[in-house]
Amino acid sequence: MKMLKRLENIKYAIRDLDVGVPKGTIKLNIGDPLIFDFKIPKNIENEMKKAISNGYNFYAPSEGVKELREKIAKKEQCKPEDIIVTAGTSEAVNFLFASLVEHGTQILLPSPCYPQYPSLVKLWGGTPIFYDCDENWQPNIHDIKKKIKQSKSWTGNKMKAIVIINPNNPTGVVYDESILREICDIAYENDMIVISDEIYCDLVFGKQFVPTSSVARGPVVTLNGVSKCYLAPGWRIGWMTLQNFKDDILKESILKLCRLRLCANTPAQYAMVKALEDKRHMDKIKAELIARRDFMMKKFEELKSDGININCVKPDGAFYAFPYIEDKKGKWKSDLDMVLKIRDNAHVLVVHGSGFDYHSSPDKKYFRMVFLPPEKILNEAIDRIRNYIKSV
């Protein structure tokens, strides 16, 4: 009976997850269907081919192959034993919350937030609590302190961790060192773990990226992987590092889950042993992304001179922008209504702000725009958005 009830709970948790696919179809009708033209570098692709021909097709150790953990340790400035290799960062987040979150556990997340975090907190029975960011999308320290204080007085000690996503999805903002330091200090003083998602760490434009672990006094989990900076999202290789923990309880629990799923992709792990240190491709990608970001920002300015009040904090990392369109007249019922109408009328896909747990006043309709596509496509996409908005 007890077991049945537990199963039911899991079913409800899954049913409640907001990971649906919107109804309707998207027809872009422009150029090549492969609109993101960045391809995995040839040398990295060749490492994968070599790994397969060299016979690295067996089950690897569940925590990851030794050689790769040693290379990651150099990158993350920690010991190889601190590292667990996973099937993408997503699996690391899942294992982390599966181990950390019990019924009622609270996890402090940024708003806006990459949606996987609140979904997985909920899946494991916990409650996401969101902290605000300021007008430049830097975490609001005052609000973080307030949320921790409230949690303590209302629930006792149920808030276990604070999540940082830096550079950020969906805002593209890179966090200041002073803010990271303050968050780490607050977490330390309140006996909380810092979870730092740094999957876009090498995609930073003209600003200094500071790894959270370099300023953390207390326990910190760093999440990273090859999906973004090595252009290999389908390889499903990520990792987490667990540093400054007093004991191995959390690590042991995560390792049990790793053993349960056997291992992460073996040839991809061997391929990354060489590829991880090879960053020859980064300069070109960054230069291209900077050009595309600047082009997108210029187009937004054009929209303004066309009477559309669009505002956007200039992203200094990743490949996302999080603008809003002023909607004083209430043309759209919600931000979701706006992006669905953009989709159906302009055939351009952007994601509504509330999809990232960001809820603003109704006169500002936020959305996330990806500036990965080449200028030609960005140009056409933004023109189509403008033409649709001017028609309503």
DSSP 33: S
Applying CB under 6 A, does 90 fall inside the site for ligand PLP? yes
Give the residue with the Cβ less far from ligand PLP, 224 or 354.
224
- Which of 81, 149, 152, 233 binds ligand PLP (CB under 6 A)? It is 233
Whether the CB-CB separation of 365 and 327 falls below 8 Å is answered with yes
Applying CB under 6 A, does 199 fall inside the site for ligand PLP? yes
Give the residue with the Cβ less far from ligand PLP, 271 or 303.
271
Give the residue with the Cβ less far from ligand PLP, 161 or 165.
165
Token duo for residue 62: 């569940």
Give the residue with the Cβ less far from ligand PLP, 72 or 325.
72
The whole-angstrom separation of Cα 388 and Cα 385 is: 5
Whether the CB-CB separation of 373 and 292 falls below 8 Å is answered with yes
Q: How far is the CB of 226 from ligand PLP (least distance, A)?
A: 7
DSSP string covering 324-348, please?
EEE-TT--SSSHHHHHHHIIIII--
DSSP 133: B
3-state secondary structure of 227: coil
Q: What is the dihedral of CA 151, 152, 154, 156, to 10 degrees?
A: 120
β-partners of residue 317 are 204
Q: How far is the CB of 199 from ligand PLP (least distance, A)?
A: 5
Q: How far is the CB of 356 from ligand PLP (least distance, A)?
A: 11
Give the residue with the Cβ less far from ligand PLP, 199 or 312.
199
Applying CB under 6 A, does 317 fall inside the site for ligand PLP? no
Q: How far is the CB of 167 from ligand PLP (least distance, A)?
A: 9
Residues that contact ligand PLP, how many (by CB under 6 A): 12
Applying CB under 6 A, does 127 fall inside the site for ligand PLP? no
- Which of 114, 130, 137, 356 binds ligand PLP (CB under 6 A)? It is 114
Q: Is the peptide bond before 112 cis (omega within 30 degrees of 0)?
A: yes
Whether the CB-CB separation of 38 and 231 falls below 8 Å is answered with yes
- Name the segment binding ligand PLP (CB under 6 A); options: 25-33, 84-92, 182-190, 295-303: 84-92
For ligand PLP, the nearest residue by Cβ is 88
Q: Give how far Cα 82 sits from Cα of 114, 121, 213, 350, 354, Å.
A: 25, 23, 12, 38, 36
Using CB under 6 A, list all residues that contact ligand PLP.
88-90, 114, 165, 169, 197, 199, 225, 227, 233, 238
